[in-house]
């Protein structure tokens, strides 16, 4: 390998250019979070599309590790805290898909954009507090590379009465 290319690659590693996959999964394990096999698409679409160095992940609904859906409407069936936990669970599902697509979470350069949809009553206005479950977990796992632009919106309904649905755009190597 060319000396300059080797020096460049070592420089990227030294500066933490890519996220360390092992540390992400170790952090998840220490938090009691486990990556699962991604579910199949529910229609004529794919779970992720890569174009250039961007990976667009389709909306993932709030699911538990056993595959069951976390359901309910915020402001009626679920509290903000329960919605926050549903958003965290959705991140695990998104990261599971990302690992299946990339083979290695260490290829994440940064989270670019989060779009969070919250199954809400018309008078519920704490959607950002719910989607904080997603944002807080991403930053906890990825540090500054987990900080992102974000939208958090209320929806009258979500598929399967899911509490939360989240889309991600991630820059990858």
Domain boundaries, the chain: 20-172
> For residue 1, is pLDDT > 90?
no
pTM: 0.86
Find out whether 162 and 69 touch, Cβ atoms under 8 Å. Answer: yes
The 10s digit of each residue's pLDDT in 81-116 is 999 999 999 999 999 999 999 999 999 999 999 999
Beta pairing partners, 63: 69
Per-residue pLDDT tens digits for 32-41: 999 999 988 8
pLDDT, residue 23, reads 85
pLDDT of residue 42: 85
Burial 80-105 (b: 16+ CB within 10 A, else e): bebbbbbbbbbbbbbbbbbbebbeeb
**Average of pLDDT values for 4-25?**
52
Could you report the per-residue pLDDT of 40-80, keeping only the tens digit for each?
888 999 999 999 999 999 999 999 999 999 999 999 999 99
Question: Residue 21: what pLDDT?
Answer: 58
Class of the 20-172 domain? alpha beta
Rounded-to-integer distance, Cα 58 and Cα 51, Å:
14
Q: Check residues 25 and 126 and name the one with the higher pLDDT.
A: 126
End-to-end Cα separation, the chain, in angstroms: 19
């Amino acid at each position: 390998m060319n000396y300059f290319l080797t020096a460049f690659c070592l420089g990227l590693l030294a500066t933490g250019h890519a996220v360390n996959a092992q540390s992400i999964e170790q952090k998840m394990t220490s938090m009691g979070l486990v990556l699962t096999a991604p579910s199949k698409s529910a229609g004529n679409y794919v779970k992720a599309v890569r174009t250039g160095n961007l990976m667009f992940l389709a909306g993932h609904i709030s699911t538990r590790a056993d595959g069951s859906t976390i359901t309910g409407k915020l402001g009626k069936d679920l509290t903000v805290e329960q919605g926050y936990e549903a958003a965290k669970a959705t991140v695990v599902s998104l990261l599971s898909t990302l690992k299946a697509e990339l083979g290695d979470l260490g290829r994440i350069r940064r989270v670019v954009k989060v779009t969070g949809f919250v199954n809400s009553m018309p008078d519920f206005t704490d959607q950002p507090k719910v989607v904080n479950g997603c944002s807080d977990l991403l930053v906890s796992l990825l540090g500054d590379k987990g900080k992102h632009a974000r939208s958090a919106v209320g929806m009258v309904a979500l598929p399967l009465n899911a509490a939360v649905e989240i889309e991600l755009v991630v820059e990858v190597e």
